[in-house]
Structure 1
Amino acid sequence: MNTMRIMKTLPRQWRSISRCSVLSQEIIHAASPMTVPVPEGGQKPVSSKIEKLVSEITTLNLLEVSELSQVLKKRLNLPDAPLMPAGGFAAAAPAVPIEEEEVAPKAVKTSFTVKMSKFDEKQKVALIKEVKSLLEGFNLVQAKKFVESVPTIVKADISKDEAEKLKVALTKVGAVVEIE
């Protein structure tokens, strides 16, 4: 009789113990120290990971910094930024009257779009394989549908070097490619 009563109360006791442990976990989590927001104008605290990176970068010499910059530009696909003069902008000389045609500076294009307009039907299989290897995340079925949907944009907003490489690779396998 006594064991029967114990067997009936065990599940209830287990539930209450479980609830207590969950509540204690919530209390511990809620009692963890909160961060106080930094007032405006003050410096925000920096994470240890960022601090470590900064200390490593500051130990680099000028050549290593240049190499780091080139690698980051390539990996993050960033365009080259125009160089600023070391002393800032110098005082401009008095303006000489110039014709209106010369005043308008020509805009330098930094991002290009590669467009495939048509392809050679005899080299369709090779083109599909090339598209699969050039475009990330494409399988053969997607590459086939992509090639068959010509005219189409292969890649947009890329550097001139990358656009030229794509054009060369695709023209080798029978595609007619335009860079815009």
Structure 2
Amino acid sequence: MEEKEQVDLNQLLNAIKSLTLQEIKIFTDKLQDELGISSDNLYSSRGILTESTSHNKEVEEIDEKTEFDIILEEVPSSSRITVIKVIRSITNSGLKEAKEFIEALPKTVKEGISKEEAESVKAQLEESGAKVTLR
């Protein structure tokens, strides 16, 4: 088994910088073939290159949560009226529905909404005195 040589990364960078565009194209093609990766994987905007057990490179997708639920956890008795007003405006419900809504907690206020909308709704409810969870 051959012993790996230590490579000076600065020397490698300087050598690559001195290549022509055609030489860089040939170099990247050979590098992709050698490592078993494709340009699609190299330039994926949502992936990270990771080394697999077979020493090939593969892209590991990162899932970022895009939909959120707002859960109303608790409403202090001193804030009930204010929270009912906020619930009415958020859910477009009547007074009776909003009042019944806050009596059976925890309860989902909104489901599958964007992060921006979820943060806005959460802020409104917290300002009115409610305890809210974002999921």
Amino acid aligned to 1:114: I
Greater share of residues in helix: 1
1:158 aligned to 2:113?
A: yes
TM-score of the superposition, structure 1-length normalised? 0.44
2:14 is matched with none
CA deviation vs aligned residue, 1:122-155 (integer Å, no higher than 9, x gap): 110111111111112x110000000111100000
Give the distance between the partners of 1:170 and 1:97, measured in 2 at CA: 42
Q: Which residue of 1 aligns with 2:51?
A: 98
Displacement after TM superposition at 1:119 (Å): 1.6
Give, in whole Å, the separation in 2 of the partners of 1:176 and 1:123.
11
Percent of pairs with identical residues: 31
User: Which amino acid is 2:118 matched to?
Assistant: A
**Within 5 A, what are the aligned runs for 1:17-166?**
93=32, 94=35, 95=37, 98=51, 104-136=60-92, 138-166=93-121
Runs of 4+ displaced beyond 4 Å: none
More strand by share: 2
Any gaps of 5 or more consecutive residues in structure 2?
1-28, 38-48
Letter in 2 for 1:115: I
User: Match for residue 134 of structure 2?
Assistant: 179
Q: Distance in 1 between matches of 2:50 and 2:102?
A: 54
Report the counterpart of residue 59 of structure 1 in structure 2: none
Structure 1 regions of 5+ residues with no counterpart?
1-90
Task: Quickly say closer, same or farther: Cα 1:123–1:97, change in 2 above 3 A.
Answer: closer
Amino acid at match of 2:73: S
Aligned residues: CA RMSD: 2.5
Provide, for residues 4-31 of structure 1, a one-character-per-residue CA deviation record: whole Å limited to 9, x for no partner.
Answer: xxxxxxxxxxxxxxxxxxxxxxxxxxxx
Relative to structure 1, is the Cα distance of residues 122 and 99 closer, same or farther in structure 2, using a 3 angstrom cutoff? farther
Larger Rg, first or second structure (1 or 2): 1
Distance 1:139 1:127 in 2: 13
Native 8 Å contact 2:50 2:60 kept in 1: no
Aligned letter for 1:118? E
